Structure 1
Amino acid sequence: MLTKKLIDFMGLRNRRIAAALSIFFIIASLILIVVRGLNLGIDFTGGTVMEVAYPSSKAPDEVRQLLAKNGYQGIVQNFGSSRDIMIRLTPKKGENNESPEARAALSEKMTAILKSETPNVEVKRVDFVGPQVGDELREQGGLAFLVTLGGIMLYVAFRFEYRFAVAAIASLLHDAVVTVGFFALTQLEFDLSVLAAVLAILGYSINDTIVIFDRERENFRKLRTETVTNVLNISINETLVRTIMTSFATLIVVVAIYVFGSDATRNFSLALIVGIISGVYSTIYIASSMLITMGISKESLIPPERKDEELDAMP
């Protein structure tokens, strides 16, 4: 059944190379996360968000330099148009913005700093995120990630077999760790939108994995004379076009958002780009490869054939 037209994804040499690459990326990502850490946004650390409108186009670097002269650091970016600026300030050491009075004073101070350079600048919105809220969001984000993984594992174990569930979770953890490691490497801001992208990657990746698992289960029952490696290879090749076309179509949209979208959606779309590429790789080389490693067999999925005596006894 296995012919030259099929790509030998599950060949021993290819599986070893893929395993080495996967281990390298996971270890490198974990080291980056621990050593460099994440550049957490104010959603997690607390801080101030301001939206201001200038009468004409304004470069974010000019606003950033103005704030730095006055001792404030943060993220400054355009949103909506070149006239609109979003400012995300991290709190100063020793500066307490918990009380309404302190927040009002900070808002007036920031407005005065901006108006000192451009008197007719318009402050549209000022929001504050306290450090306690940031801690709560961080905990809830981690909990959402764990609940998502647990739900997926239970679903896959119930629908297929426990080895499929373990393989699927290993594949998803690879995608999540590599994506977060990328943000640790680049030190791009990691905020709630990026966390949402990581959770979306889990859903996207498991969907592709389930499609391949379905074909593998079906082929295990049809191709009873083939080896496990051949059955997995045939299944992956049969679903390869679907995997590539679906991922390519999604990437076109996400890349368009990254290139033509605003700065507010750039990190979100970049996380999806990394996650989608990683998901295609892990679905093929981690999820299916782990089934072989864990000793999946045709007997695990093929219902036992009925004996002649049992067939004769049926009405």
Structure 2
Amino acid sequence: MLLRYWPEDTKLNFMGLRLGGAILSVLLITASIFLLSTRGLNLGVDFAGGTVMELQQTETLSVESIRAAMPFPAEVNSAVGTDARSIVVVKFGAADPSLLGEEFATLAPELQAERAQQLTNEIVASTLKEKLGLADEDFLRDDSVGPKVSGELFRSGIMALVSALVLMLAYIWLRFEWQFSVGAVAALAHDVIITLGVFSLLQLEFNLTTIAALLTIIGYSMNDTVVVFDRVREERRKYKKMADRQVINQSLNLTLSRTLLTSGTTLLALFAIFFLGGPVLRGMSFALIWGIGIGTYSSIFIASSIVLSLGMDLNKKPAEDVTGFQGVR
């Protein structure tokens, strides 16, 4: 290898910083829980209900013209469609009842909940047609999500996150020991909670795409943690009389170059998506960028620190390893 991206023999004392890492993580988790309980998440159409309209972008039909023609404020962004055409994406929820007419006000509350979005869609479509001279064929997409469906989608998304954490707990327990399982799942929960806190702080849109990004973060962070744990187990069996702190520090240093190179190359692609992918992909790419950073941090300072605190019992005869993680640098 002509270029060395990281010194061959690093001796960083990661475990000497575990108290500072624990304090920082507790502060971040506390702040995240506070933000989630006070500000909440900026739920997108998928979870809050609403409508997504797509129109083909032209010289006269632009983000600015549609935004100016809307009868009420809405989220209007440019994007690239699946057929590579430039489009304008309009997202909005139900309009204020005062805009929905006198007949709407006389409806029962349960009927109002069902009819509000439909009437809003009709008002938006008719207004855009009148002010911009649009026809029905100019609307490339007009999809609505009702409050009942959006609630079910939100519950399903949260269940997907919880299920992923439980399955990871079981896998690490079987693959290593219970101490490693506790450390790995604590690190994953740490990553998810803090990422949700950042979304609450910045009020970025939280939708199904964000859930997919969180699941990707869980998988990425778990992969990094498993590589570290496998090296810890290998070094523990090689140096049976070495102190646990030294074993973990040595393992982290041996896997550091692999961690930095993997994270760095992944971040290059994600930054390109974040800056060049447009507003539609910005929330997902930001979640992945943040998640890779916090996931790398938690693999070192959370998962490994918990294993050190709980102790390791790896002197028994190991089972045959068929995972292919041995010797990863």
Aligned position for 2:106: none
The residue identity in structure 2 corresponding to 1:264 is V
Gap runs ≥5 in structure 2: 1-8, 101-111, 319-329
Question: Structure 1, residues 212-247: CA drift from partner, whole Å, max 9, x if none?
Answer: 000001111001121000000000000000000000
Aligned position for 1:80: 80
1:41 maps to which of 39, 44, 49? 44
Alpha-carbon distance in structure 2 between the residues aligned to 1:83 and 1:140? 32
Please state whether the residue corresponding to 2:306 is helix, strand or coil: helix
Cα–Cα, structure 1 residues 66 and 209, in superposed 2: closer, same or farther, change >3 Å?
Answer: same
Following superposition of structure 1 onto structure 2, how do residues 96-111 of structure 1 map, counting pairs within 5 Å?
96=112, 98=114, 103=118, 106-111=120-125
Following superposition of structure 1 onto structure 2, how do residues 1-315 of structure 1 map, counting pairs within 5 Å?
5-11=10-16, 14-56=17-59, 59-67=62-70, 70=71, 72-80=72-80, 83-94=86-97, 96=112, 98=114, 103=118, 106-120=120-134, 122-294=138-310, 296-297=311-312, 300-303=313-316
Stretches (4+) displaced over 6 A: none
Alpha-carbon distance in structure 2 between the residues aligned to 1:201 and 1:152? 13
Please state whether the residue corresponding to 2:140 is helix, strand or coil: strand
The residue identity in structure 2 corresponding to 1:52 is L
Seq. identity, %: 38
Alpha-carbon distance in structure 2 between the residues aligned to 1:92 and 1:106? 6
Cα–Cα, structure 1 residues 170 and 235, in superposed 2: closer, same or farther, change >3 Å?
Answer: same
Alpha-carbon distance in structure 1 between the residues aligned to 2:288 and 2:61? 29
CA contact (8 A) 2:77 2:279 kept: yes
Alpha-carbon distance in structure 1 between the residues aligned to 2:41 and 2:74? 15
The residue identity in structure 1 corresponding to 2:89 is M
Alpha-carbon distance in structure 1 between the residues aligned to 2:151 and 2:94? 15
Cα–Cα, structure 1 residues 102 and 211, in superposed 2: closer, same or farther, change >3 Å?
Answer: closer
Gap runs ≥5 in structure 1: 306-315
Question: Structure 1, residues 100-152: CA drift from partner, whole Å, max 9, x if none?
Answer: x973x544422221133321472111111010001100111111111100000
- Count of aligned pairs: 293
Question: Structure 1, residues 224-274: CA drift from partner, whole Å, max 9, x if none?
Answer: 121000000000000000000000111011111111113211100000001
Please state whether the residue corresponding to 1:92 is helix, strand or coil: coil
Alpha-carbon distance in structure 2 between the residues aligned to 1:156 and 1:22? 22
CA contact (8 A) 1:55 1:120 kept: no
Give the aligned CA root-mean-square deviation in angstroms: 2.3
Alpha-carbon distance in structure 2 between the residues aligned to 1:102 and 1:16? 51
Alpha-carbon distance in structure 2 between the residues aligned to 1:287 and 1:106? 49
